[in-house]
A and B are shown apart, each in its own frame.
Chain A
C-alpha cells in the first residue's frame, strides 16, 4: 500500500514537471508576441507602412522593404512551387523503390538541413557571379527558392499521400493512363493541400535574412526597384540593420519594433492561414 502511494506521488510530480515544460514553451511564445505586439504596435501607422525611411532611417517608414520582400518572395514562389510540386509528383506517383529514389530522398532531407548562410554562399557563386545576375532581386529570390525547394517537395508529397489509392486504381482500371489518372483523379484533390504546404515554406523564406544578405538585399534604398536586376530592401534585413548596424540604435528602437511586428504579422499570418487550412483539409480527407 505504501509503495502505491509513493508511486502516485512520484507520478503526480512527474506529470507536473512535464506540464511545466509545456507552460514554459507557451510562456516564451506569449512573451515574444506580447513584447513585439505592445512595443511595435504604437509605432505603426499608415505613414510607416507607405513611405520610405527618412533622415538616415531615423524617421519614415518601411514601404520599400515591404515591396522588396514581396517581390523576392514572388521569385521564390515561381521557382520553388512548380519545381517542388513536380518533384513531389515524381516521388509519390512515379518513383519505384530503388537506390536512385533513396538517393533523391536522402538529398532532399539533407538539403533541408543545409544552413541558410551556406545557401547564401552558393547564391553568390552561382547566381551573382557565374550566371551574372549580380546582387539583385533575381539572385536573392532564386537563392531563397533553392532553399525552399526541399520544404515544398516534402509538403507537396504529404498532400499527395492523403489522396486514397482507390482514386488512382479506380481510374487505371477504367483504362486511364498513368498521367490521366494523376491529372484527373489525384491532382485536383491534392492541389489545395500542396499549395498550403508550400505557402508554409514561402512564409519561412520571406523571413530569412542570411541567404539574401549578399545576393541582393541593400542597406538603404529610397527608391523602389525598377527591375528584377536591381537591389532591394527587405523586411528581415531592414530589421537586422535597425537593431544592430544603425548609428543611433536606441533612438530607432521603436522603428525596429514596428518592423519586427510587420514582419511577424506577415510571416505568421501566412503560416497560420496555411496551418488552419491544412488542419481542415486533413479532417475532410479522413
Chain B
C-alpha cells in the first residue's frame, strides 16, 4: 500500500509520486506519515522532507509552509522546496558567507525586519548546506539493506 505525495513550492511542482512513507518536519516535531493516516493539518518547520519508496529515498529541503494529510494523499505546500540534488552548493555557500558577514558586524541598527530577513537567509543556507553534506549522491540506498549487494 502506498500513499500519494505531492510537494509544491510557490513557483512549481517539485515532486509527485506514490510512496511508502513521508517524513516531514512538523512545527511540533518530525512526523512520519504512512498510508491511511488520519486527516491532519500542520504548519511546516524549516527542515528536510524525506520520501521513501521501496528502498529509494528522496530528500528535499523545505523552508516552512503547510502540510495537509488525507488518508491517501500528503500535500506539502512549501514556501520554498528543493530536491537535495538541485541545490546549488556554491550559491548556498556564498549566501551563507554573505549573511554571516553582515551579522558579524552587529545587528543592523534599528531595522529589525532586515535583521530577521538576513537571519532567515542564513538559516536557509545552513539547511541547504547540511542537507548536501548528509544526502548528496542522488538516490540514497537505505542503510538497513543487506550489505554486499551490488548496485
- A, B co-complexed: no
